[in-house]
Structure 1
Amino acid sequence: MTSATALLDPACPKGLFDLGAIGAGLTFAESLGALAAALQGGGAGASAVVQAPPGTGKTTLVPPLLANIANNRRDGSGRRPRIVVTQPRRVAARAAARRLAALDGTRLGDRVGYTVRGERQTGPGTVIEFVTPGILLRRLLAEPGLEGTDAVILDEVHERGLETDLLLGMLTEVRQLRGDLTLVAMSATLDAPRFAALIGDAGIGETAAGNDDGVGPAPVIDCPSALFPLDVEWAPASVPRLDERGVARAFLDHVADAAAAGHAAALAGGRDIDALVFVPGAWEVSYVAARLRGRSRAEVLELHGQAGPAEQDRAVSGREPGGAARIIVSTALAESSLTVPGVRLVIDSGLSREPRRDAGRGMSGLVTVSCSRASAEQRAGRAARQGPGTVIRCYDQRAFGAAPAHQTPEIAAADLTGAALVLACWGAPGGRGLALPDAPPQAAMDEAVEVLRELGAIAPDGHATELGKLLARVPTDPRLARALLDGAATVGHRAAAEAVALVSGDQRAPGADLTRLVAALRTGRDPGSRRWAEDVRRMESIARQESSAVGPQQSSGLVPAGAVGAAEAIGFVVALAFPDRVARRVPGEGPAQYLLTSGTRAGLPAGSPLSGHEWLGVAEVSRAQGRDAAGTGAVIRSAAPLTADTAEAAARNLLSETLQARFSQGRVSARRERRLGAIVLSSTPVRPPVEEGRAAVARALASEGLVTIGWSTAADGLRRRLALLHRELGGPWPDVSEPALLARLDEWLAPELAALAGGASTGGIDLAAPLSRLLPWPEAARLGELVPESLTVPSGSRIRIDYPDAADTTGRPVVAVKLQECFGWAETPRLADGRVPVLFHLLSPARRPLAVTDDLASFWSGPYAQVRAEMRGRYPRHPWPEDPWTAPATARTKPRN
């Protein structure tokens, strides 16, 4: 075996690449020997983690090193090795390939090439291929063994992209099948021990370096920082960074002003440098760039995902000899995977766009948040890769300290439908048994699996069906893939492909109007036209080849081919993909507020040309505040118009016709409703059938209780008396608590329920009679003896007994009577077979309580004297005898002389 040192020697006959020439001036060249030794010591199926700061040259040097190692192991077999390197973004993959080919002195596409969506520069002699993670995922599904690939390098793992996380788990399993596959994870800021354990040697091949039993973490290769001195300037704006519409325009003005002033000052000081401005999205890039063009003499370039490949490549390439100074305005695309030559000044807005999933509203999308501290350090490092630099942070140190330490892993926040399909095709439904950096959230995964079941993409056991495997081969979201194949039968292959390419792409629809965007793309003048046209051609080819494999089309039978007009074609395909997002304008709520079939309400952006349409097929809806949300808290980001017929056809699985009976204001009413999900299409009053009426009454009673019918005085009194008997004597006296009565409705209230279900009013129902049906016989004959309704007092009056509420577990029966009516009464009456003494409220002539007692004898012997002394002067016409024992009880006043 050739030594690690020999592999770095350009004269080594085993080496394909001259690492000395390629690595000249790159800091990571000093770490190549350690990496080569670790990989060679780990055997043919070695693994390693490379942790190196930005600008050290790891992306440039590690791939050719692995190519040389693989070439050495082939021992003259004749076939060239193949090294696959993932880059999280297309522009980064192209730039990395172009730079390595230039350093190697070969033409791009020969020994070094790249493959990204819609573009490929490789040949039969390609040794190192840069790809995006999505490209490698589809290759793995098509060829799980990756035969012919010697090594895979996963770059920028710290960004925690969903596809990269999946690749980590899947490639770890591939290494268990193929002991000769080398796997390297690279990052600028990485939790190295964690990832080293994840991809480490599991007894595959030879013993890992430093681990005699062949089982252990992968070796970690560090590299010293390549950054030059960096000055940090804080330039917070006097306005908030975010307002009700997103990023505040006043703040973007501040960012542009800070960039113009900072760059001008550097040029005036004799520093001929370029500047890099970070803002969160493509719209903000265009806004800041436009303002800079009016304030700076520098060439202003835009770098974002919607820009064309040529425009992107020009921004990341170095300045032409003698060219003017440049200001590149970029999204996070330039944060870590690219080195933009000449940049010594960075202006950072401190904002980024990250995926977020709103489970409550069933929405997923990008939201603007403060970037993590790790991202802020990455951005700042762009200025000090090639010399001393400066970063101007357009926010204060407090905001920096409050930012999260790291970016939220995409698997924890994004829609997981596509990931769930990949896992199902891989044979690890839901990620079970796969060594992922983080387990997917169970709720999000369950939701994704349910979507796939509805698409017919997975079987009951969670594994992919043949249709699911077909959908996984289409480079887009599974819902869009199914809509491509289904929609082609109605709108044609070309129109379906246009719609799917439109929604899959990076372009932002003006005013959320997809039809306006597609019109601009068709002209060829839009910056994204070329890439969109390529995507359309690819999608159309797939649709033509695979449509027959789907079986009966979802749209057939309802909408024949050609029945959907061109104006609704995009909306129809979008609705096929996302039937839960078909939306209808809410009457009386303004033209910009819509109700989605999912039940979510959302608004259109202010001034959207879609606001006049009643029906929309919505491709994207996300959380928002203020004017763009029309007061709903959600905003429609992209949509296309539909007619009522096409909306129903596309979302026909959500169509339902039900009879809705409800019990309110004492009577059952019913309406026959036709719905599309949460959207009511029609509602007609009808006579309620008995069963539906009975169910409506039952629902009302369950939610509101028997008060829905109402307790008369007689019914309430009987219930209170029965409740006391059940409390004191138990069975057979019935439990008349609310839960117990509701549980036995059929035993005591069946005739009345039938009457209500048939349309009777509660006004004609007295619950006293139904309640008496629960009386036990023959014990019921003693009801008046045990708990009489009234009590005869010594004056001869019959006084009503107030029994405690049925829910009161300690209350006593009360008799409120004038004191004079009880003279001479010594023994307190007791109820319920003598168990419960009556509590007397002895009243004044004005019927105010004078005493409360359940022991009359004690009252007459003691407290009465005090009461007499206080009351006889106030009520002289009433008897207040000195001896209450012998005085006649009376309800009358003293006779006049």
Structure 2
Amino acid sequence: MIRYDALDALPVRGALPALHEALDTHGTAVLVAPPGTGKTTLVPPVLAGLLGGGPARRVVVAEPRRIAARAAARRMAWLLGEKVGGRVGYTVRGERIVGRQTRVEVVTTGVLLQRLQRDQELPEVDAVVLDECHERHLDADTSAAFLWDVRETLRPELRLVAASATTDAEGWSRLLGGAPVVEADGVSHPVEVVWAPPARPVRPPHGMRVDPAQLAHVASVVRRALAERSGDVLCFLPGVGEIARVAGRLGDLDGVDVLQVHGRAPAAVQDAVLVPGERRRVVLATSVAESSLTVPGVRVVVDSGLAREPRVDHARGLSALTTVRASQAAGRQRAGRAGREAPGAVYRCWDRAEEARLPRFPAPEIKVADLTAFALQAACWGDPDASGLALLDPPPAGAMAAARAALSAVGAVDAQGRATGRGLTLSRLGLHPRLGRALLDTSGAGAEVVALLSEEAPREYGDDLAAAVREARRGGDGYSGRWRSEVRRLRSALGEAQHPSAPGGGPSPADGGREAGGARGEADNSVDRVAGLVAALAFPERVARLDGGSYLMTSGTRADLPLNSPLRGCPWIAVAVADRPVGKGHARVQLGAAVDEDLARLAGAALLEEREEVRWADGDVVARRVERLGAVELAVRPLAAAEPALVRRALLDGLRQEGLTLLRWSADAAALRQRLAFVRLHHGQPWPEVSDEALFARVDEWLEPELGRARRRADLTRIDAGAALGRLLPWASGEAGRLDELAPERVTVPSGSRIRVDYTDPERPVLAVKLQEMFGLQESPSLAGVPLLVHLLSPAGRPAAVTADLASFWRDGYTGVRAELRGRYPKHPWPEDPAAAEPTRHTNARLRR
């Protein structure tokens, strides 16, 4: 029996006429409805004609999470007075409850993508509702793009609704061809906001780490909320670890049940939260509880203000979740949970002043996540670079390039990025392409290991992948049941994918499929061998060899194992899961398996190469023949006769690293370089630039053929840099002959001496000369119009004065110098009028003779 009383209480009913009009007119609509209005549970049955009359239609509702899909289906079935599997059903990974009469089917966005790839027309589907599109999950964005493509090219009658409580309505409207925006009134129950910042500053989150003081504060706010308010408390935390730690701090609550809800919790636990409890409850949840489901009895929300988002370190090939500040949109969603059934309150564990600094919306996954699976979806859709897809945000070029490289390595795409038959097979497995490759190439023997990697094993299983599989086999916890279900699903999916009618079914010989299958035959009875094989096949760039106190991956990244890891000391490991702690240069292994060198070579065949390496290392040219597995050296032999071009490149690297001082710079050569720098600065072309950068850029012009004959460091030290530098002078124009005129090595001073000019500073060359040799000179000497800086020396050759204006010095400065030095050097002339005196380089005695 239809529960009309509950239906009539849903505020979204008021927006249904506008929604019908939008779909009848445009075929698309953006529905913005605050939490608790019934957009998820009332709109789909109405569109299907199950409520309020109208034509019978088949409606697919796409939810971002399994828990939300199951909850939405059960709520809709309850409103219709039915059980799930009748006119309302659901399909999530590993679970399908539908019947012949099903008209509304709730699916996860991942399931929807699988269906679109199998049959783009979505036969017998009349309308698709993309729920909670504000969360910007990658599968949801991809589904929306594919559905718009289907509507534009194949099925213009297909109705599309993008629905959310908080979203970029204008952006989604543009994306769906100018779809009308329909807004529903919010729930009438008010939600009071209580600001509850920590009394003392807490450290901001770093990577996966959350300051324990922050979690202690959240637990104290939960206790405060229980004391100040009635009803159940829903507390939002970023992850499973934080939920466990806060639960530990609340374990002594009397008469209160503390429940933990997250994506890794068993379905039975997740579903139990959606049923009213006999006692008061505190529900600790991740963002899975933000959308699409009502936790009955909740009147209070405690919001930690934290969330988890994916991040990819493309340089190191590592993907991980990181803790971030939750967006304003997420905060509104979370707060709305408190007002679903009655007036409520939200306790926000941060200062009110911080609110305006929070991001408006969550970071779209397409901007921050690993795009390998997305790139495969796009390639299988026929748009390898995704340029033709209707996306709110384009995929970053660097992330797409990394994704295409990963797909190419497993044989999923060809050189043009188009999906191969193998790629189509991988796309049908419902796995990340890396894990799909491992499942395919082990012919199903690795299903248990792949299931464990796809379902994120509990931390207490440890970091040894094989041991974790054994733990899952033993059962005894909620995770093992989900794991067994996923193993069955994978084996079934593999059978379907490898059916002769499926294009490209089966391993690719070019990608090592045959060899992997053969290795699998030897490893059927060894979970250790299979675990290593799966990890190595899925992540060949993370195969690592023990090197000193850490492991060197084939990608070039170093990784560390925990001190108590059973894998420590293994010569080779394959790293399945790793992250890089903030501020650390090495990755941290979270899950890995022991392998041997033969398996490493097998899995990383595409990275295996043998080549001549000639490079500058340890201050000289090193020539050797090296067999490598990526960055890992397997075998090294000296190379007697290296290719000259490689030697030349190594010598140039040495010059860049250690500088041109490796050449032989005589005093004359150094002086020539300084003179050229002076002329270049003050006269420009055609005089050459002689900085290190400029000389490196023209090395072919001035350092050949000497460099071509050099084979090692010692040869460089024998090259006369001055003679080589002379080749850069402008000989062709005839200007080279003016060098001695523009920048002479020496100048003649009044005494007749020829004194060397110091061009160390090209802005102002220096002439260091004994004071007596400059008597009678009224004007400072200059070169190329640049006055020299004259260092007037004492008879002992020590600086007595510095001037660029001799006339001024004779007039104003000489008297003081004469008074100071005349008594110290009585044998030298110190006339009262130096401007009129005879210059000399001799003593008074010589002068008298």
Please, what TM-score do these two structures have when normalized by structure 1?
Answer: 0.82
Deviation (angstroms), 1:566: 3.0
Q: Which moved more, 1:882-891 or 1:696-705?
A: 882-891
Query: Which residue of 2 is the match for residue 530 of structure 1?
Result: 481
Check whether the contact 1:153–1:184 (CA below 8 A) recurs between aligned residues.
yes
Give the 3 Å change call, closer, same or farther, for CA 274–600 of structure 1 in structure 2: same
3-state SS of the aligned residue for 2:174? Answer: helix
* 1:696 matches 2:650: yes
Report what 1:573 is aligned to: 534
Contact 1:625 1:634 in 2 (8 A): no
The alpha carbon displacement at 1:888 in A equals: 7.6
CA contact (8 A) 1:81 1:150 kept: yes
Q: Could you say which residue in structure 1 is the equivalent of 2:38?
A: 57
Q: Report the AA paired with residue 505 of structure 1.
A: E
1:581-627 per-residue CA deviation (whole Å, 9 max, x = no partner) reads: 22344414xxxx4433323334445644444434332233334247x
* Residue equivalent to 2:162: 185
User: 1:120/1:226 Cα in 2 relative to 1: closer, same or farther (>3 Å)?
Assistant: farther
User: Which amino acid is 1:139 matched to?
Assistant: R
CA distance in 2, matches of 1:522, 1:145: 41
Aligned to 1:514: 465
CA distance in 2, matches of 1:50, 1:109: 27
Amino acid at match of 2:186: P
Q: C-alpha separation between the residues in 1 aligned to 2:527 and 2:139?
A: 35
Verify the 8 A CA contact 1:228 1:385 in the aligned structure 2. Answer: no
> How far 1:113 sits from its partner (Å)?
0.6
Letter in 2 for 1:698: L
Distance verdict in 2 for CA 1:539–1:825, change over 3 Å = same
Q: Secondary structure at the match of 1:434?
A: coil
Deviation at 1:37, TM superposition (A): 4.3
2:377–2:427 Cα contact (<8 Å) kept: yes
Range 527-536 or range 778-787, more displaced? 778-787
1:767 aligned residue: 721
Residues 397-796 of structure 1 correspond to what in structure 2 (within 5 A)? 397-488=352-443, 493-494=444-445, 496-510=446-460, 511-544=462-495, 546=497, 549-552=506-509, 553-554=511-512, 556-557=514-515, 560-563=519-522, 565-588=526-549, 593-604=550-561, 607-625=564-582, 631-632=584-585, 634-663=587-616, 667-683=620-636, 686-687=639-640, 689=642, 691=644, 692-720=646-674, 738=692, 741-743=695-697, 745-746=699-700, 748-750=702-704, 752-758=706-712, 760-771=714-725, 790=746
Shift of 1:367: 1.2
Q: Which residue of 2 aligns with 1:292?
A: 250
Higher alpha-carbon deviation: 881-890 or 336-345? 881-890
Instruction: Map 1:162-201 to 2 at 5 A.
Output: 162-176=138-152, 177-200=154-177
CA contact (8 A) 1:55 1:227 kept: no
Secondary structure class of the residue paired with 2:291: coil
Q: Given the superposition, is the C-alpha separation of residues 174 and 668 from structure 1 closer, same or farther in structure 2, using an over 3 Å criterion?
A: closer
1:220 aligned to which of 182, 185, 194: 182
Letter in 1 for 2:608: L
> Secondary structure of 2:430's partner?
coil
Provide the secondary structure at the position in 2 that maps to 1:346. Answer: strand
Correspondence 1:388-399 to 2 at 5 A: 388-399=343-354
- Structure 2: which amino acid aligns with 1:36? H
1:304 counterpart residue number: 262
**What letter is aligned with 1:675?**
R
- Measured in 2, the distance between the counterparts of 1:729 and 1:285 equals 72
- Percent identical among aligned pairs is 46
CA contact (8 A) 2:238 2:306 kept: yes
Q: 1:345 to 1:614 in 2, by over 3 A?
A: farther
Q: Matches of 1:284 and 1:862 in 2, distance apart?
A: 80
The secondary structure found in structure 1 opposite 2:714 is: coil
Unaligned stretches of 5+ residues in structure 2: 499-504
Distance in 2 (CA, whole Å) between partners of 1:219 and 1:780 is 76
Q: Give 1:198's aligned amino acid.
A: L
The secondary structure found in structure 2 opposite 1:59 is coil
Given candidates 49, 53, 62, the residue that maps to 1:68 is 49
How far did 1:133 drift? 0.7
Deviation of residue 154 (structure 1)? Answer: 1.1
Match in the other structure for 1:817:
769
Instruction: Verify: 1:283 aligned to 2:264, yes or no.
Output: no
Q: Is the partner of 1:301 in helix, strand or coil? A: strand
Q: Could you tell me how far apart the structure 2 residues matched to 1:821 and 1:106 are?
A: 115
Tell me how far 1:456 sits from its aligned partner: 2.8
Q: Deviations 1:366-408 (Å, cap 9, x if unpaired)?
A: 1122222322232222222112323333444344454323222
Match of 2:288 in 1: 333
State the secondary structure of the residue aligned to 1:802.
strand
Aligned to 1:46: 27
Deviation at 1:85, TM superposition (A): 0.8
Cα deviation, residue 251, structure 1:
3.8
1:242-295 CA-partner distances (Å, limit 9, x unpaired): 6677134454344345435643665xxxx5x33322222123333333443443
SS in 2 for 1:760: helix
Q: Which residue number in structure 2 is paired with residue 10 of structure 1?
A: none
Write out per-residue CA displacement over residues 186-207 of structure 1, whole angstroms, 9 at most, x where no aligned residue. 111123333233324xxxxxxx
Q: Any gaps of 5 or more consecutive residues in structure 1? A: 1-16, 75-79, 201-215
Residue 137 (structure 1) aligned with residue 120 (structure 2): no
1:659-713 Cα offsets, whole Å, 9 max, x none, are 4434467643334444332334455555572623322112223455422224121
Contact map agreement 1:661 1:688 (CA 8 A) in 2? no
SS of the equivalent of 1:120 reads: strand
Give the C-alpha shift of residue 410 in structure 1: 1.6
Q: Aligned equivalents of 1:57 and 1:827: distance in 2? A: 96
Distance 1:766 1:172, change over 3 A: closer
More deviation, 533-542/787-796 = 787-796
Give the match's secondary structure for 1:433: coil
Provide the C-alpha distance between the structure 2 equivalents of 1:810 and 1:253, rounded to a whole number of angstroms: 65
Cα deviation, 1:113-142, whole Å, max 9, x if unaligned, reads 110000000111111111111111111111
C-alpha distance in structure 2 between counterparts of 1:888 and 1:560, whole Å: 95
Question: Which residues of 2 match residues 117-156 of structure 1 at below 5 A?
Answer: 117-156=93-132
Q: Which residue of 1 aligns with 2:501?
A: none
CA distance in 1, matches of 2:820, 2:197: 83
Judge conservation of contact 1:237–1:395 (CA < 8 Å) in 2: no
Question: In the alignment, is the contact (CA less than 8 A) between 1:571 and 1:617 conserved in 2?
Answer: yes
| 2:842 equivalent in structure 1 | 891
Q: 1:508 to 1:878 in 2, by over 3 A?
A: same
Q: Distance in 1 between matches of 2:582 and 2:816?
A: 71
Match of 1:846 in 2: 796
Aligned to 2:194: 232
Distance 1:262 1:543, change over 3 A: same
Partner of 1:4: none
1:361 is matched by which residue type in structure 2?
A: R
CA distance in 2, matches of 1:731, 1:238: 65
TM-score by length of 2: 0.87
Change (3 A) 1:760 1:138: same
Look up the match of 2:502: none
CA contact (8 A) 2:764 2:788 kept: no
| Counterpart contact for 1:169–1:436, Cα < 8 Å | yes
Equivalent pair of 2:764/2:787 in contact (CA under 8 Å): no
Q: Is the 8 A contact 1:198 1:437 kept in 2?
A: yes
The one-letter code of the counterpart of 2:473 is R
Question: Partner of 1:83 in structure 2?
Answer: 59
CA distance in structure 2 between the aligned counterparts of 1:137 and 1:460, rounded to whole angstroms: 25
Question: Whole-Å Cα distance in 2 between the matches of residues 86 and 779 of structure 1?
Answer: 78
The CA deviation string for residues 739-760 of structure 1, in whole angstroms up to 9 with x for no partner, is 5654554555445424531563
Aligned residue type for 2:305: G
What's the RMSD between the two structures over aligned residues?
Answer: 3.9
